[in-house]
Amino acid sequence: MSEEILREQLYAAYKNRGMMYYHIFQELRKEVGDEKAAEIMKRGIYNRGLEIGRKYAKFGPADLEGLKNAFLASSADQGKMFQPEVRRCDAEGLDIQMRNCPLKEAYQDAGLSDQEIARMCDIAAVVDYGTFEGAGFQFSAETWQPGREGCCLLQVKPGK
């Protein structure tokens, strides 16, 4: 199998993940309403992030340079998929702007409204909260909003 076919399959798998989130969210919201559905989705996705965060725990609570290097080294397709741009990395914080996101692209391809895309990005980004908090850091994200270029801005600070 060629590298190009593997790359196409990798990107398709990420887009599939995004659409699975969307369809699960749609079914949950029919049963329990929008807010409760989002809460349930976020709990499950956060827990997956905690599992991912274990591989970065050796850098917590304050080795932001080590975290940055390890995180970028594990970025899908050698960083091409999310196109991370390090905006800052010092003792006080690590800021990474994602310039691309296959989940957001899947939502756009499916014809979701900007508001629906923003909602799904907010839900999906919880995996990053679990990842970085699970590794011992403080974390916040500015998720994509209508009119904004790129995707999430990840902001990591040393843990307590």
| CATH code of 116's domain | 3.30.1380.20
What local confidence, expressed as pLDDT, does residue 120 receive?
98
State the residue for tokens 């725990």. 57
What local confidence, expressed as pLDDT, does residue 102 receive?
96
Instruction: Give the count of domains, the chain.
Output: 1
Residue 32's pLDDT band (cuts 50, 70, 90): very high
What whole-number distance in Å separates Cα of residue 134 and Cα of residue 32? 28
What mean pLDDT is predicted for residues 77-98?
97
Tokens of 133: 């908090």
What local confidence, expressed as pLDDT, does residue 9 receive?
97
Does residue 86 carry a pLDDT above 90?
A: yes
What whole-number distance in Å separates Cα of residue 124 and Cα of residue 103? 8
Q: For residue range 9-23, what is the model confidence (pLDDT) as tens digits?
A: 999 999 999 999 999
Q: How far is CA 69 from the centre of its chain?
A: 17
Q: Write out the residue range of the structural domain in which residue 138 sits.
A: 3-157
Q: Where does residue 9 rank: exposed (0-12), middle (13-18), buried (19+ CB within 10 A)?
A: exposed
Q: How far is CA 41 from the centre of its chain?
A: 14
Does residue 1 carry a pLDDT above 90?
A: no
What mean pLDDT is predicted for residues 66-95?
97
Q: For residue range 128-147, what is the model confidence (pLDDT) as tens digits?
A: 999 999 999 999 999 999 99
What local confidence, expressed as pLDDT, does residue 45 receive?
98
What mean pLDDT is predicted for residues 31-49?
98
What local confidence, expressed as pLDDT, does residue 21 receive?
98
